[in-house]
Amino acid sequence: MGSRFKQHRISGGIGGDDRFWEALEDGELRLCRCGSCGAWQWPAHFRCGRCGSWEHDWPLVEPVGTVYSWTRTHMAFPRTTARAESVPYVVLLVEVDGTDGARLHGVLEGPADALAIGARVRGTIHPPADESLGYPSLRWALETAEVSR
Amino acid sequence: MTGLRGAAAVVGVGLTPHHRRSTGGPALRLCLEAIVAAAEDAGIHPGDIDGFVSYGAERSEGQKMMPALGTKELRFAGLAWSHGGGIPGALNVAASAIATGQAEVVVVYRSLSEYDGRRLQLDVAQDDTAAQFLVNGLDAPVQLCALGTMRLLEGEGVPASTLRAMAQASYHHAQRNPAAVGNGTVLSDAEYARSRWISEPYRLFDCSRENDGAAAVVLVSAERARDYPDAAYLLSAPLGAAAGWGPLEGNQNPLWSAGFGAVAARLWAESGYRPEDVDVAQIYENTTGMGVSALIDHGFCSLEDAAELITFDNLIAPHGRLPINTAGGNLAEGFIHGMGLVVETVRQLRGTSVNQVPDARLSLMTGGPGDAVVSSALLGTRDTL
């Protein structure tokens, strides 16, 4: 089970998503559902605010979805200097299919010609790297017309 | 209405110069300069300040300043959550302390300096940036705001001209403010269009400055404020977030918003005023686009007619429909984590702004937009009570 990311622990935010990163290191995309009422919970948290359960399920999710928003960043910032040679790069915010609208970020790889809100994307999982600060990462690619669905 | 409406008023303001970052000296010294200036402006001995309230990751705590201020007794201290979203909420915390008799003279302030602090991107973001952002090349607030504003423009159809209008209004106002860092920078359409991209849809001129400095305002009870003909009364300053908002890593709804929906509804209900009553507004703009969203959230316009209101002519003093950021704002006056906007909110009610709106009686300040919790404040002259 993956856990290399824990050596580079980023402590910001809610931080209930260790299982997400472990799964990603194992090459799987898993998102959080309440273990009792089944509500999707993203970002993952420690307790379900709807039914009060502290139990979670982490079902496998297919890394496909729709572009909800995007930005093309043209400079490296203090904590993204490992991407200095990649600028400009595009980061997508993607609504993942079948998750009641959970959104995940990820860098866009491949052609950006068809980049637009609403475009369909498919994700691939990448192992921990310097540019992703020692964490595994999900990158998105725009689905082209010839890809049949 | 809450029992706080009109219970406290700002009677003193202090603002240091906007130093270039890392040249301003120690933050604690800057903080003392601003607080002493605010106390002197109010005619109150600095040692009589008994309450200290700030927001974000403020490190110049009241207890650190007591020996230098001559503080007789520190009776109240607090920090409003969170980041720049908490600025007007800090005024509310101060008013609460005053109205409940816990403190009599409360200073609300913020100090920042890269001389002995860290890059503002870290000091302001409090090292609380989630892995979901950092892993994917998102670090600075400007990048996170960019995702919200892209949704506003491309997803909701608000024209990008609104961003330019926000920037140009701020730089226009800075030309009459000798203390503004943007003084001397004339932002023409061409200059704006030529400026480099930072994180699309934001160009350089869409982004706030980074400065070393401090700003402070002194509040007292409404009763004590009767001695001050130019007191700025706090009519309402709610802080909060509705369900569906918060630190949700891009999952906030609606993402195009700056998060003020519920707070703005309380602001208007508690103050008894409406958007159309506001004479002048200081709109915290870490980026232009978030300022546009804040205006929509507060009901000054809708997604559909945003481009109609948010034009250069409408946003400038003295006679625009809604003059904003009349000292230059975070973009062009300078950035002390938004605290300079509180000072300008008060100046407008005193009639001492460099871009004065004639007979301004109701002066609005909206806090850090898009933050996990946000707050807004409506201040008014005595006759608005």
pLDDT tens-digit readout, B360-379: 999 999 999 999 999 999 99
**Would you call B128 and A73 a contact, using CB atoms and an 8 Å cutoff?**
no
Q: Decide: helix, strand or coil at residue B148.
A: helix
Query: Has residue A90 got a pLDDT over 80?
Result: yes
pLDDT value of residue A148? 43
Task: Tell which B residues from 106 to 125 touch A, by Cβ distance under 8 Å.
Answer: 119, 121-122
B46 and B70 in contact (C-beta within 8 Å)?
yes
Q: How far is Cα B199 from Cα A70, in angstroms, rounded to an integer?
A: 10
A1-9 mean pLDDT: 88
Residue B145 with chain A: CB contacts under 8 Å: none
Average pLDDT in the B278-286 region? Answer: 97
Helix (H, G, I), strand (E, B) or coil at B186: coil
pLDDT at position B57: 87
Average pLDDT in chain B: 96
Cβ density class B273-287: b for 16+ within 10 Å, e for less: bebeebbbbbbbbbb
Beta bridge partners of A91: A71, A107
Quick check: B358 and B279 in contact, CB under 8 A? no
Is B199 touching A (CB cutoff 8 A)?
A: yes
Residue with tokens 């670090």: B139
Mean pLDDT of A18-41: 98
pTM of the complete model: 0.96
Res B121: pLDDT: 62
Distance from CA of A14 to the nearest CA of B (A): 7
DSSP E strands in chain B: the ranges are 8-15, 19-20, 51-55, 76-80, 106-112, 197-199, 202-203, 211-221, 232-236, 239-240, 280-283, 362-366, 374-380
pLDDT single digits (tens) B283-293: 999 999 999 99
Answer yes or no: do A78 and B139 touch at CB < 8 A. yes
Contacts of B138 in chain A (CB under 8 A): 73, 80, 91, 105
pLDDT tens across A94-116, in order?
999 999 999 999 999 999 999 99
pLDDT reading at A149 higher than 50:
no
Q: What is the pLDDT of residues B245-271, one digit of tens each?
A: 999 999 999 999 999 999 999 999 999
Residues of B in Cβ contact (< 8 Å) with A21: 131
Mutate to test the interface with A, among B129, B135, B202, B203 (most CBs of A within 10 A): B135
The band of A146, judged by pLDDT with boundaries at 50, 70 and 90, is very low
Task: Kindly list the residues from chain B whose CB atom is less than 8 angstroms away from the CB atom of residue A69.
Answer: 147-148, 150-151, 154-155, 250, 255
Nearest residue of B to residue A116 by CA position? B154
pLDDT in tens, B18-76: 999 889 999 999 999 999 999 999 999 999 999 999 999 899 999 999 999 999 999 99
B123 has pLDDT over 90: no
ipTM (interface predicted TM) = 0.96
Min mean pLDDT across A138-147, B50-59, B226-235 is at A138-147
Over residues B190-213, the mean pLDDT reads: 96
Confidence of residue A1 (pLDDT cuts 50, 70, 90): low
Place of tokens 């603002």: B15
